[in-house]
Amino acid sequence: TKALFERHKPTHVIHLAAMVGGLFKNIRYNLDFWRRNVHINDNVLHSAYETGVQKVVSCLSTCIFPDKTTYPIDETMIHNGPPHSSNFGYSYAKRMIDVQNRGYFEQHGCRFTAVIPTNVFGPHDNFNIEDGHVLPGLIHKVYLAKQTGSALTIWGTGKPRRQFIYSLDLARLFLWVLREYDEVEPIILSVGEEDEVSIREAAEAIVEAMDFRGELVFDTTKADGQFKKTASNAKLRLYLPDFQFTPFRQAVKETCAWFSTNYADARK
């Protein structure tokens, strides 16, 4: 990491490097998620400090928030209790970025901050069914079910609720944070609470976008994970009251079209 920073001498850094995975991969490898992410984050932030980077924007996740909490969750609540047990390794490692950002600011005056996106999806995602996140995993499942003429099996009850953000919207917001947002405290990047959808509704949007005519089956022997982690985007709206998010069904349609067109080369 140090060699990379010394070679390129960046002035601004968007830090997205992480060991990531869906619910079932997290449950199996909590220690690995903790160790690898702590090492990655310390390497990136300390190299940024040592090479005089002006601004670092790191990426946290809504799954790092306390499991037992009131809703909606906001930026002040990150450290208010233990995260969900299914991904405690990843969650604590990500929380430490916020701790380090404050440390680098207080001790060295560094402008290191973090954003907290909700569930990101879009073209070029990881569509792996075992390790990917829920939406790209479902898109791949629908694609395969359509090809083979079989039923679509969805893990869990379909009842958990999520706020999804289209990767292209998130990219625009990242650039705004890099250029305009001056706080060290993190900011949640998300659609509003009213745009939360259930896993079942997300699956139905994909089924519609891909014109799947088969049966939908919910495998309730599989874990659901957290029921919801509703985040408030009030702070974002204070800064950007007029930001337009891509409507969910349109974003799903564009992502499904990309996956179908690029199936051979997509990460899966």
Q: Give which of 159, 18, 161, 35 is closest to 88, Cα–Cα.
A: 35
Q: Give which of 58, 80, 59 is closest to 69, Cα–Cα.
A: 80
Q: Which two tokens stand for residue 160?
A: 């958990």
Catalytic-residue membership of 239: no
Strand pairing category for 164-166 and 216-219: unpaired
Residues 6+ apart with CB under 8 A from 52: none
In total, the chain counts a number of residues equal to: 268
Contact 119, 61 (CB under 8 A): no
Query: C-alpha angle with apex 25: 14 to 19, nearest 5 degrees?
Result: 20
Catalytic residue (one of 90, 104, 166, 181): 90
Residue 147 main-chain phi, psi, to 5 deg? -65, -40
CA distances (Å), 110 to each of 3, 13, 61, 76, 256, in order? 20, 13, 22, 21, 41
Q: Which two tokens stand for residue 158?
A: 């379909």
Just list the catalytic residues.
Answer: 90
